Structures are given as C-alpha cells and as structure tokens.
Amino acid sequence: MLKSARIAVFVSGGGTNLQALLDAQRDGKIPHGEIALVISSQACAYALERAEKANVPAHTVPSSLIQHDFEAAIELLLEQYKIDVIVLAGFLSILSENFTKKWPRRILNIHPSLIPSFCGRGMYGLKVHEAALARGVKVTGATVHFVNEIPDGGEIILQKAVEIEGATRPRPLQRRVMEQAEWKLRRARRSLSAAPSQKRRTEMVDFLHFLKNTSYPGRGILVGKDRVYYFIMGRSENSRNRVFVKTDDGIRTEAFDPAKLADPSLIIYHPVRTMGSDLVVTNGDQTNTICAHGDFRRGLMTREYEPDEPNWTPRISAIVHEDGSFEMSILKHNDGRCLREFFCYEGCDADKAYFISTYQGDGTPLPTFAGEPMEVSVPSPEEVWDALNEDNKVSLYANMNGEVKLFNKNLGD
C-alpha cells in the first residue's frame, strides 16, 4: 500500500489556491498526497477558516517575528506533523537560504508570470499583472518552480502561457491567468506530491535531468547499496587532460598527455582507496588524509575547501563500511571559514542512492552544492556517463559490488 506524502500548505491571505487543493483532495484527485497542515503568516487570513472547515490542522506563525524565530517556529510545526512536501499558496514571506537548503526540491510554488519576467522580490499578487500591463507584453502566464533562497529563482518545472487579448486592468487579467494557467498547472503540481515509493522513480528522472541540464556539476559522488560512482569534469585544458587508472587499492587520476600537464596540485590525486574493510572516495587528496588518520571524520577535521578563489571548490567525501552503512561529507567556504557538514546513513534499499556534487550549476563564481545529499533512484553507470555534459565530462568510476568499471573520455570510452 502506498504511503501518502504529507503536505504542508503555506498561506498569507484568502486561500483561493488552498481551497482548490482542498477540493482536489476531497474529490480524490491527490491519490498519493495528504494535506496535513496549513501554516499562515497572518492571523486574520481567511485561508485559516478554509482549513478549519476541511478539518485540516492550521496554525499561525506571524511574519512580524524576526526571521530566525519565524522559521524556527515553522520548522517545529513541520517536524510535529511529519511533513514531506511544502506547497506555497499565496505565501508572501521570503524564506531564507538556511531554511530552503533543508528542503531541496521539496518546496513548490506557482508564480503568476512566465519567469524570468515580472518576478522576484516585491512581485506578487496584482503587482505582477500591473507590471505586465504597464510593459505592454502580449503574452503572460504562470510558472511552477522549486523554491530556493532567491525569490522566484528556483528551478522551473512547468510553464503555461496566456494571451493578454486586450486586457487593460489587472484584476480581470489575474482571473484569466488563474483560470487558463494557474489552475491547470496546479493539477500538474499535485502530481509532484507523490508517495515515497512513486517518488523514487521521479527523483531518478530528476537526477539524470539535473546532470543533463547542468553543464558543470564539477565532481560528484553517488553511494547506494553495493555500489559507488565517482565522476570528474573539467572546464580548463589542464582539468580535462586526465584519466582514471586502477591501483592496487582503488584508482588515481593521471595526466592523459604528460606534456600538457600545467598544475597538478588540485587535479592529480588518489580519489578512491580502501581503508581496511572500508572504501573511501573523495574529490581530492583528502583521501590520503583520511586513510592516514584511519578515521573519516578525524581526517576531514584537519582539511578545508580548496584554495581556488573565487570558487573555493568544496571537498566532497564518502566512506562506505563493510556492513553497508556509509557517511558523506562536504567541506565548504562560509564567510572566510570552513563549514564541515557530515551525513550518516545506516544503509539504503537496493533501488535507492544518495548523491552529492561540488557544484549545483554553472556560474561565476560556481555555486556550491547546498543542502543534504540528493536521494535518488539508482541509474546505471552508462546512464550517468551519457547524461554528463559531453564537453566537460572527463572520467567516471563505477564500483558495483566490487566489480569496477572505468569510463575515460580521453580514451574513447
């Protein structure tokens, strides 16, 4: 029997979108999701009455609180009601990066424009439609997107366009966008609030989609039951001039053309080594540090991010124990200091894995991976290799229950 994902709906006003979700739940149109909580930033919001009539627990967390206290109160409610997914439905408060990074790809919002047009801080409600009319655009619409620390800046999931068709006032345009776009997209958004067993396949598609649509995730580690993947990518000629070669206790990187090797300091290292019955995999020479200390955490407490300003490339690491449990870590730059994050897992099902990369997209500087490792379904190493950007991929290591397979672009793999 499928377990329903528990959904929290955040509101600030009348709750029209909330009502549509409640009606859909009543009509059985959210088969794998359950609206388990409503949180309002305003005590007078009519949305609270809608929740009460539907017998859904509702709480007010006033937006007048300072940001830390506001989000801390929300987090307590989310933990109390065991929430899996957050849906923003006319929620006017901005969530901080500290909050959103704890809910990667689990906070969704519909914005009433075609992002990146008429969006960002201060763009909500009628203001969006007023701006569209003032600009004289011929087409507007709505966007479903994941939420991150940038207002309306998260990954776009779905969009639907709406013709302006001579509209001259914001309220009629708002209604048209709601009827022709928002309500239709809402049905698609509901399908993303899937039960955990259904969610796994969705997340696998998202993982491969992430790789295919991220030109430079840098270096990545995936750990699952009886398998470990590690890939490297490169943007410079020096970084791309590498191959993986096997060693007695793992693999090392090596210059494909030694004559073209410029600076080996951050690109030539021993990423995978055995340490007793454990397997250590990292994106740098911290592998040797861990093995020298004989302890994953103790070794990493002596290391920090790479000194490649302005990117400050994080060091990502994992250790897999003989009993199937494992740990993952990221050492990242944080206001001139090193933030060391550790994530421990007792193991996982055969069809599940966890993934972490140095970066989560392209940019200047490159954006550091944020949040917990991504929970994904297990793709084959061939799928991962094919999904990596053709120009930037360099090598992939795949260990499947002790059987090692290497992919090297420079060797024609």
* Residues marked as catalytic: 111
* d(C-alpha 196, C-alpha 282), whole Å: 29
Residue 249's nearest CA partner among 273, 269, 280, 216 is: 273
Edge-to-edge order in the sheet of strand 85-88: 58-60, 33-40, 5-11, 85-88, 107-111, 139-146, 156-163
Q: Where are the alpha helices (DSSP H) in 213-352?
A: 237-240, 286-293, 296-300
Q: Which residues pair with 7 in a beta bridge?
A: 35, 85
* d(C-alpha 254, C-alpha 247), whole Å: 11
State the first-to-last Cα distance of the chain, in angstroms, to the nearest integer.
43
Kind of pairing, strands 242-247 and 227-233? unpaired
Could you tell me if residue 361 is left (phi over 0), alpha (psi between -120 and 50 degrees) or otherwise beta?
Answer: left
Burial-class residue 370 by CB neighbours within 10 Å (0-12, 13-18, 19+): middle
